[in-house]
Chains A and B, each alone.
Chain A
């Protein structure tokens, strides 16, 4: 164990990085998402967003349910390009 606590396993983001960004004054979840790429990996935020909301609530003194979720992006799960464009013989 290195002691690093990973929040986002898609993009390798740690608790310390989230806390440092909030301490620098960035408290909007849409901004935190983009600066750290939390929730922008293949899992679409299933793992990391609830954890980040918890950290944000603790640091800002807000209730977790008062913090809006970031906008979800399609597709819900990654989709292979060929599934959309069809076969090789076009």
Chain B
């Protein structure tokens, strides 16, 4: 049994802690704020395999298969619902692009298909069909409750012996050659140290700071925090807009109905580089911009009330694909998820745990594609298709 430290109490860190404990490893997890406080608890809840490249499609197909079994495995209601993702085309060129994506997704077993606007209207009763020509529809995509999912993983991890600590900040490492030998952390104001056999940096937007503490260049894995905001309406009758509905050509604007309380979450690609790593201030320009799109997608939303607006970070890499892999002998990273950490967590947690514990993984994760050293080599991937 090895002792493994995980830095970051978001969904990636907590899911990996659970998977490592399942493999019999001893795990200590550090979260400097409260669990989920970074990006997980601010996310838009969506889960999809509709990506536009083989690596992300295959990883997400596996992740959705894990999501389908997660409630039983974790013995907890995480409100996972396969209510689909519906992308909408506004031009003939876009319809052709959708067809090419669908062909690629079908090749890897993702059952996306092109639908006409009559069918789209049956799926989303409040949809304004007039601006759109066709939809790309995958009924296996879905959503889950990020709060309940993280805690379901956390409670099971603790039952398996994981020592998960919040409000506990990692402040440094002890390193011999390319091996991290100990993690230093602040406990009630005092700096303590724990000997470890391996370390996972799962700090997402904060990951460059952790890499720097490990003696690596801060921009070895260049991750920039972009402020993404969401607004949510009052609870509405279920079944109005259950899938995530997104016309990508409208600045990636989308709506998705909360599977539990029925409120509609509205997002858009109106982003700002965060001023700092505590820049969560919502902005009026976002509120105005996102609602202009939302009422064009679903006109009845005009009469709903907005009850909440909040911000979180897309921890973005230059190609919007995460950095997943090994940085030093026993120092690993899974960060820079660029808005896709929540949906990828079941697959990435499993893959990382197997890599750290066994040196290899049966998860269909393309390690070369997500190689954290690709940025230093100047090898960018095709940009991952973003949104929700």
Contact = CB atoms under 8 A, between A and B. Distances in A.
B262 to A, nearest CB: 12
Q: Is the interface of A mostly helix, strand, loop or mixed?
A: loop
Category for how many chain B residues contact A: 20 to 34
A30 to B, nearest CB: 5
B241 to A, nearest CB: 14
A82 B155 CA distance: 43
A88 B155 CA distance: 49
A80 B303 contact: yes
Interface in A57-90: 71, 73-75, 78-82, 84-85, 88
Nearest to B266: A81
B304 A81 contact: yes
A66 B264 CA distance: 35
Interface in B84-119: none
Contacts of A84: 287-288, 291, 306
Interface string B290-320: 0110110000011111111110000000000
Chief secondary structure at chain B's binding surface: mixed
A25 B166 CA distance: 12
Nearest to B283: A74
B34 interface: yes
A74 B286 CA distance: 13
A6 interface: no
A80 B304 contact: yes
A33 B179 CA distance: 40
Interface of A: 11, 24-26, 28, 30-31, 34-35, 37, 40-42, 44, 71, 73-75, 78-82, 84-85, 88
28 contacts: A11-B261, A28-B167, A30-B41, A31-B34, A31-B35, A31-B36, A31-B151, A34-B147, A37-B261, A40-B308, A42-B234, A42-B305, A42-B307, A44-B307, A73-B282, A73-B308, A73-B309, A73-B310, A74-B308, A74-B309, A75-B306, A78-B306, A79-B306, A80-B306, A81-B295, A81-B303, A81-B305, A84-B288
